[in-house]
Amino acid sequence: MAAEAKYNVRELLAYNGARVLEDKRSVFVGTGLPMIASMLAQRTHAPNLFIVFEAGSFGPLIPELPISVADSRTFYKGIAATSMHDVMAISQAGYVDYGFLGAAQIDMYGNINTTVIGDHDRPKVRLPGSGGANDVGSFSQRLITIIANQAKRTFVNKVDFITTPGYLDGPGARERAGLAKGSGPYRVITQLGVYGFDEETKRLKLLSLHPGVTLDEVKENSSFEIIIPDKVGTSYVPTEEDLRILRQEIDPTGMVLGK
């Protein structure tokens, strides 16, 4: 990242996450950076973005960053305060365009681990677990994942536990598992760049590098081979107005974005 950058890594991640989201679409949002990105999109280019939270909130206009998906602020000016059952039901029915999650590990097919590092019964690290993350990844039309620290320990050949299914073991695997045809991972955003998935192989593919990042850094910080096309773009960077919204309106305490 360029030394003169006026933004920190988390602000860049949130901004690029926001850029993926489209107006007049729905998004099932997880805690942390996915929440911030969705709030930023709603305040800028996607005012009609329909946000859904696991605890039962439909279509809120969130005043500032909640501490979790069950915080009362996730219901602010929403069109309905309902139940987890109803949220999962509309997701299973195919009404959710985007799922938006964080991850501790991801593999080349976009499978996500937020459960354990190491053996399941005797793990090195026990993580928060699924919550609704399996449902989000299984039933949303497109899954977006943010990983704040891309490294060989987070971009792994095989995740230690599949909390949220990506393309499983490759083309056709989601369909064989009973998941909707055409659904699955769509974008992965890290401190190094933005990734998509190859249409034929379903493997992770680099789309853009953040300013100042090199291809060598991308390769060095992955345990698997990332598809790198002939033409790689440069990621978007937040404007002063985007940063003002992030810092003053969305996360004024710096709870997630930092100071």
> Catalytic site residues?
54
> Which token pair is 46?
């996607």
Sheet holding 193-197, edge to edge: 80-81, 57-58, 50-53, 26-29, 98-102, 142-146, 184-189, 193-197, 204-209, 233-234
Token pair in block for residue 155: 């971009």
User: Pseudo-torsion of CA 26, 28, 33, 36, nearest 10°?
Assistant: 40
- How far is residue 111 from each of residues 44, 71, 93, 106, 188, measured CA to CA in Å? 30, 28, 22, 5, 11
Query: Where does the chain have alpha helices with state H?
Result: 9-20, 33-43, 84-92, 133-139, 173-176, 215-220, 240-244
